[in-house]
Amino acid sequence: MDELIYGHNQEKNIVAVQQFDESTVRIYIREKDTVREEIRKFYPFFFLSDKSYIEGFNKKFWLKKLAGNNFYQYACAFEDLTDMWNAIRYILRNYSNKHMIKVESYIDTDIIYLRPDPVHQFLLQTGITLFKGMEFNDVYRIQLDIETYSKHRFSNPERIEDRIILISLTDNRGWEYIIDGRKKSERQMLIELVEIIRKKDPDIIEGHNILNFDLPYLIKRAELNEVDLSIGRDGSKPKITTTTYDRETVFTGIEIYGRHIIDTLILVQLYDFVKREFESYSLKYVSKYFGITSEDRIYIPGEKIAWYWDNDPDSLVKYALQDAHETRKLSELLTPPYFYLTQMLPFSFWQVIKSGSSSKIESLLVRAYLKRRHSIPKPDTGFQTTGGYTDIFYTGVFENVAHADIESLYPSIMIKFKIAPQKDELGIFLQMLESLTKMRLEAKHKMKNATTPEEKSKYDAVQSAFKILINSFYGYLGYSRAIFNDYESADKVTTTGQKILKKLILEITNRGGKVIEADTDGIYFIPPEEFSTDEEKVKEFVKDIASTLPEGINLAFNGIYKKMLSYKKKNYALLDKNGNIEIKGASLISRGMEPFARKYISECVKFLLNNEIEKIHELYKSLFKSIAERKIDIYELAKTETLRERLDRYQELVRLGKRNRSAAYELAIASGRNYRQGDKITYYITGSSPDVRSFENCKLVDDWNPLRRDENVQYYLFKLNDYTRRFEVFFKPEDFKKIFSLKDGLNFDDVQIVTRKISREIDFD
């Protein structure tokens, strides 16, 4: 089965004519048996071209892997069909004695994408290593970080007086270098950078936020200094890629011919998409999180760079190098899964990082079909009707709560019950899923046997990458644009999952356990008394429950939590044995809340879990006071919202009455500044009554005047009490009133946290 996943290294004799759009067609031809077996493994395909696409091919790896060999690849792209057919005739005439030529046309089919064609990968990676058979460390990576000087708050490459002062460079072979602006002009610095990149010839250039800061800055300054930033493998300059969206040109990235660019910021965002643990995506924060911070780390905030440059440049140099080293370490932790995925998928490294999971799955499926010369289906129209089962049975605070979940519920169901798209006539879907599952287990095994923390987290990343891929098989079924979609099968998966979870609840309850909350594939419960708090005994209990499930559906015991606070479906908090607290759910922890509210709620949750009722009272009082007396930090009161729409579009929708006015947009417009989609606006509410309309009574935090505070005290006090109501369910009414009052000298010894049973009939059918 691996053969299908690593298909592009195994394909034999495929020739395809591929239509990319109305006017562009490509022909792929493979040379016949002129390549040694071990070479074929690496690069089995050849392009025919008169455009010399091949010039930029990575000679280093090519030569390294294929030393002494003598054969050719060509690429070919045509602007129209006549040219294409002429070319085919030409090829047949001149090459048919040497090559196996078969031309297969997909031109008249409904296929829009044939991305999985292995040769497509080849073209995309022109000049770049395919990574096949390589380890991550085999690839040569350079990290780049620039420091800039500005008298303003934000450095701007368009401002002629701003400039690059340091370029720090490191690589994965222990080299480090500073291009020092003390000794050189900016122009000289840029020329040196080009020389170094060309001489070192990295496969990958890495940086944190390199796509939105370092590279655009370098490109702009090179322009101003009239330096040719020719760092591509063919001597070309970086290319800024754009797309037109809503009749507006949108920046999508930067390409350097023959090299990959890795922006660790994007990798961090992807990582957090799964883990959701980061407070910030800054290099400093994330490095601390991963424990990869350099020794004697120097921290220099952005606005202090100019000061350091004038007063203590040596520290700045050290700081800049540390940035580059941390970027390298960060990349070593986060890049490998995508590196190894690139070996499986017919996408370039960058596409693997940027593309969604569905296109990855589909590329594997289509490639297998292409290989077998089987026709390819069209997407079905329709929709999915069911999802996971979620329920809550108790609210309140509970002691010794066990957690168990079914490992990879949906993939297991698909494998166990053989649920796959009906359209998948070749049965590739399940074979692929099984194979990937096996690979994930291998990665997990390696993680378990890892001897260093670095190795461990690397394999953790690898296995979680596989997990994302495996989990998206289910999502793929219900995806409207997937060519193999199958809504019926998607529903079958979810309803089977519901049945299994309900059975689990039933089994636990029947044995005297108390289920508190369940969601999709996991369950929090209090084990029957006889198992008490003994972890080993509970393990046995879970094993017993697990034995009632179908074979292939594995229930895992994840341990016992000291306390659990259950609030609503998908909203709860956990206190583990080490005293760590985990809060889940949008109503208890949300980026949309004002920071003061976030902190207030999480503190209250902490006190509830530790049964420190008096501290809740004290917190409420002090917070109330600091708002009432205008002592609280304005940032604590301010909301931060993302502008999701373009401002003119917002205005248009408001004008048409299709959208309500919103504070963030109104402020963005009023500011007169050029806010763009995705920008964040931080604002607070003004006025004097608690029920003001926010879009009419708001102000940017930046415009806040500490000497004339104008935040709406009544509004925020009302908000405080509003948030407080979330805790109503945990107390008797009189206790609630007492705790959230401003009186002094109260006693809370007799306050009991209330637990409630939510009566509920489960439909077990």
Give contact residues for DNA (rule: CB under 7 A): 113, 243, 276, 354-359, 383-384, 386-388, 390, 392, 405, 471-472, 474-476, 478-481, 494, 519-522, 568-571, 584-587, 589-592, 641-642, 644, 659-660, 662-663, 694-695, 722-723, 726
| 55-93: burial string, b at 16+ Cβ within 10 Å, e else | ebbbeebbeebbeeeeeebbbbbbeeeeebeebbeebee
Q: Please choose, from the candidates 109, 118, 95, the residue with its C-alpha nearest in 3D space to the C-alpha of residue 16.
A: 118
Taken in order 210, 211, 215, 217, is the CA torsion positive or negative?
Answer: negative
Minimum CB distance to DNA smaller for 156 or for 677:
677
Least distance (Å) from DNA to the CB of residue 492?
Answer: 13
Least distance (Å) from DNA to the CB of residue 325?
Answer: 31
Least distance (Å) from DNA to the CB of residue 312?
Answer: 38
DSSP string of 414-427? HHHTT---TT-TT-
Q: Dig out the tokens for 473 from the structure.
A: 């098989």
- Cβ atoms 98, 172 nearer than 8 A: no
Q: Please choose, from the candidates 429, 556, 407, the residue with its C-alpha nearest in 3D space to the C-alpha of residue 482.
A: 429
Q: Which amino acid is at 536?
A: E
- Cβ atoms 331, 264 nearer than 8 A: yes
Minimum CB distance to DNA smaller for 5 or for 720:
720
Minimum CB distance to DNA smaller for 429 or for 723:
723
**CA dist list (Å): 722 to 96, 616, 631, 725, 732:** 79, 15, 20, 5, 18
Least distance (Å) from DNA to the CB of residue 583?
Answer: 7
Minimum CB distance to DNA smaller for 128 or for 663:
663
Least distance (Å) from DNA to the CB of residue 476?
Answer: 6
Q: In angstroms, rounded to a whole number, what is the distance separating the alpha carbons of residues 122 and 136?
A: 19
Minimum CB distance to DNA smaller for 205 or for 720:
720
Least distance (Å) from DNA to the CB of residue 306?
Answer: 33
Vertex 572: Cα angle to 569 and 573 (nearest 5): 170
Q: Dig out the tokens for 120 from the structure.
A: 């497509």
Q: In angstroms, rounded to a whole number, what is the distance separating the alpha carbons of residues 581 and 41?
A: 51
Minimum CB distance to DNA smaller for 172 or for 520:
520
- Cβ atoms 692, 685 nearer than 8 A: yes
Q: Dig out the tokens for 608 from the structure.
A: 């509830």
Least distance (Å) from DNA to the CB of residue 263?
Answer: 16
Least distance (Å) from DNA to the CB of residue 501?
Answer: 9
Minimum CB distance to DNA smaller for 287 or for 694:
694
The torsion region of residue 253 among left (phi > 0), alpha (psi -120 to 50) and beta comes to: left
Minimum CB distance to DNA smaller for 388 or for 528:
388
Minimum CB distance to DNA smaller for 370 or for 663:
663
Least distance (Å) from DNA to the CB of residue 219?
Answer: 21
